[in-house]
Structure 1
Amino acid sequence: MRSILSAVLIVLAALLVPASAVAYWADRELGDADRYTAAMSPLAANPAVQGVVVTQATRALSGQIDAGPFQGDLDALLGEALGSFADTPAYRTAWDAANRAAHAAFLKALTTGHGDALTIDLAPVIAQVKQELVADGVPFADRIPVTHVSVKVMEYDNLAALREGFRMLQIAGIWLPVLTLVLAATAIAVAVHRRRAVIATGLGLAVGAAILWIAVDLCRRLTLDDLPADIDRGAAGAVYDALTAFLRTTAWVVLAIGLAAALGAWLMGRLRRTP
């Protein structure tokens, strides 16, 4: 009876590994503005994301300033300025500000049901570019409007289901990972052969970690395949990878811990049998 109970608890713990990681991620990573911004911050240097920002901002500003016969030159200058600005510390500061605002909008969509996409407002970026150009004495730069240009990087069809799922994950939060650890520890404690239980538990956790990694990769493919044609796949993939980096890291850490525990218990058994 104890062996059966131990086996059931090990299976439950293994199955809860991916759910626990996702619950913690939704509550402590996606739900926190500072951590969300920190996760998105490295994308400021991503070429695909930079390309989308420069293209969208240039398109929005192009033609809004009447420069007469110099219109073409001014539009080209704006594109070059935005491209050069994308490699500066000021751009990274503006990018972080834009993402912090995007996070607030994202949470609002999940709580109120308004909005159907994850967008980034480029107004902070445009404001910084205007300031740089004015400081450099570029003609007509003071006429650049600080336009609210939203770059759509993710789109979700069933917001109601997403909102409910996110709310449930936030409720689970830290408690689901704690439950997973309790189940694993209990499985070992009630087992008749504890060393074997440690091996089985370690392998079970490793399997759960593998399921998590596969699920993250599968969701990435499905998410990118379902995107509308007007959303850049490279940029969207970079955003997805940045947002799910915690899950992939967690999968590798749990996999390593599980395999190490199983290997350690197996080696202990071999050493005890050695005369």
Structure 2
Amino acid sequence: MPEPDRAPAAATAPPRARNALSAVSLLLACLLLPFGALASWAAHGPADTDRWVRAMAPLAADPDVRRAAADALGDGVLRAAGPELHGGAGPFVHDAARSFTRTEAFATAWDASNRAVHTAVLRALRSDAPAAPVTVDLAPVVDRVRHRLTEDHVPFAHRIPVTHTRVPVLPAGDVDRLRKGYRVLDTAAFWLPLAAACLAVTGIAVAACRRRAVTALGLGTALGGALLVLAVAIGRRLTLADLPAGLRGPAAGGVYDALTATLRTVSWLLCALGLAVALGGWLTGRYGPRLAARRRARGSAGPAADPAPEPTRARA
């Protein structure tokens, strides 16, 4: 009698182990997938100079940004000009700087400055040379301001020297710290999606019921995408809350939305793809056996036999 009891146990043990291994693999794949998407975005999304410039462009129309830029430009022009423009000419310089921030030339200079800063920072992060301070030459901006002051007939404006002054952007200590973080993100952006794909394939391959494994993977992928959408929304609220009160306007929100547009798109695609896969697996499990049974029934049924002739009565 003990022998028949051992046989069923031995027969059910392998499927349980396979299901456990499949569940662990699929769970890890669903966890790594949103983190891989986030790492890929962080390593390659803001690193795109054109996307960065487009994201920062709306700030050129923000009144607080214009005011701060005008003050900085006016003070910079006065420092560069020396004592010749101090005194009574100071208000004219600041008025001209404020007028300049409302022109198309300022928007062009704003984009050029952001492009120069982003390119310099990205070059420093990707370089293998010892960490050094990141500086940017803003001489083109000073040249545009001098041209505008000359058109407004500001005294001695044509004498403003356009010197190639290097403006500090990042100290060497910050460059070294950001470089290490960037390299970690760059490595994670490659390995996390690859690991998630390998775990997903393994989880489906070893599952005792692959249809259920595919359905579970779809649901997990959709859940990961939904959590990523929620994380982007929470990050937006926290990021805007940490900004100074003068910068918490639509422009700052527009910058955040522009920088995270790719991440939001990927998040919604994960949700849609996961739900589609899960729905396909559920429909296959619910209606697949019925359709297969109907096809087998139609295939096994041969042509209808001719009805048997009725017996004829013998003639009297």
Shift of 1:12: 0.6
The CA distance in 1 between the partners of 2:255 and 2:166, in whole Å, is 18
Partner in structure 2 of residue 174 of structure 1: 190
Change (3 A) 1:43 1:119: farther
1:164/1:179 Cα in 2 relative to 1: closer, same or farther (>3 Å)?
same
Match of 2:116 in 1: 101
Separation in 2, partners of 1:53, 1:119? 21
Aligned residues: 259
Distance 1:268 1:46, change over 3 A: farther
Aligned to 1:4: 20
The alpha-carbon distance between structure 1 residues 84 and 91, as it changes in their structure 2 partners (threshold 3 A), is: closer
Q: How does 1:228-267 map to 2 (within 5 A)?
A: 229=244, 232-234=247-249, 236-267=252-283
Higher relative contact order (CA 8 A, sep 6+): 1
AA at the equivalent of 1:101: A
Query: SS in structure 1 opposite 2:102?
Result: helix
Whether 2:212 is the aligned partner of 1:196: answer yes
- Cα distance in 1 between the residues matched to 2:180 and 2:186: 10
Separation (CA, whole Å) in 2 of partners of 1:132 and 1:114? 35
Amino acid at match of 1:41: R
Q: Is the 8 A contact 1:122 1:151 kept in 2?
A: no
* Letter matched to residue 111 of structure 2: D
Q: 1:79–1:163: structure 2 CA closer, same or farther, 3 Å change rule?
A: same
Whole-angstrom distance in 1 between the partners of 2:26 and 2:55: 38
Residue pair 1:53, 1:122 contacting (<8 A) in 2 also: no
- Paired residues of 1:57 and 1:122 also in contact (CA < 8 A): no
- Give 2:115's aligned amino acid: R
Cα offset, 1:28, TM superposition: 2.6
Distance 1:20 1:72, change over 3 A: same
Report Cα offsets for 1:18-63 as digits up to 9, x if no partner.
22112222333344xxx2332332431346x643442122112336
Query: Aligned partner of 1:203: which letter?
Result: L
CA distance in 1, matches of 2:238, 2:168: 21
- Which residue type is aligned with residue 100 of structure 2? A
Aligned counterparts of 1:138 and 1:192: Cα–Cα separation in 2: 80
Letter in 1 for 2:247: D
Does the 8 Å CA contact 1:199/1:265 hold for their aligned counterparts?
yes
Give the deviation of 1:232 after TM superposition.
2.2
The question of whether the paired residues in 2 share the 8 Å contact of 1:102 and 1:121 is answered with no
Tell me what 2:94 maps to: 75
Question: Does the C-alpha gap of structure 1 residues 106 and 238 become closer, same or farther in structure 2, counting only changes over 3 Å?
Answer: farther
Deviation of 1:245 (Å): 2.6
Amino acid at match of 2:52: A
Counterpart Cα distance in 1 of 2:54 and 2:136: 13
- TM-score normalized by the length of structure 1: 0.73
Q: Distance in 2 between matches of 1:215 and 1:161?
A: 25
Closer, same or farther in 2 for the Cα pair 1:60/1:46, shift >3 Å? closer
- Residues 61, 166 of structure 1: alpha-carbon distance in 2 compared, 3 angstrom cutoff: closer
Please tell me the residue identity of whatever aligns with 2:222: A
Judged with a 3 Å threshold, the aligned counterparts in structure 2 of structure 1 residues 242 and 62 are, in CA distance, closer, same or farther, namely same
Say whether the 8 Å CA contact 1:36–1:243 is kept in structure 2.
no
Identity of counterpart residues, as a percentage? 43
Shift of 1:179: 1.8
Classify the secondary structure of the residue corresponding to 1:192.
coil
Give the 3 Å change call, closer, same or farther, for CA 91–158 of structure 1 in structure 2. Answer: closer
1:260 to 1:93, Cα distance in 2 relative to 1, 3 A = farther
Name structure 1 gaps, 5 residues minimum. Answer: none
* Letter paired with 1:139: H
What does 1:71-220 correspond to in 2, within 5 Å?
A: 71-85=90-104, 90-107=105-122, 108=124, 124-131=140-147, 134=150, 137-140=151-154, 141-143=157-159, 163-220=179-236
- Alpha carbons of structure 1 residues 132 and 80: separation in structure 2 relative to 1, 3 Å: closer
1:170 deviates by: 1.2
Distance 1:121 1:103 in 2: 12
Residue 19 of structure 2 aligns with an amino acid whose one-letter code is: S
- Do the aligned residues in 2 keep the contact of 1:54 with 1:79 (CA within 8 Å)? yes
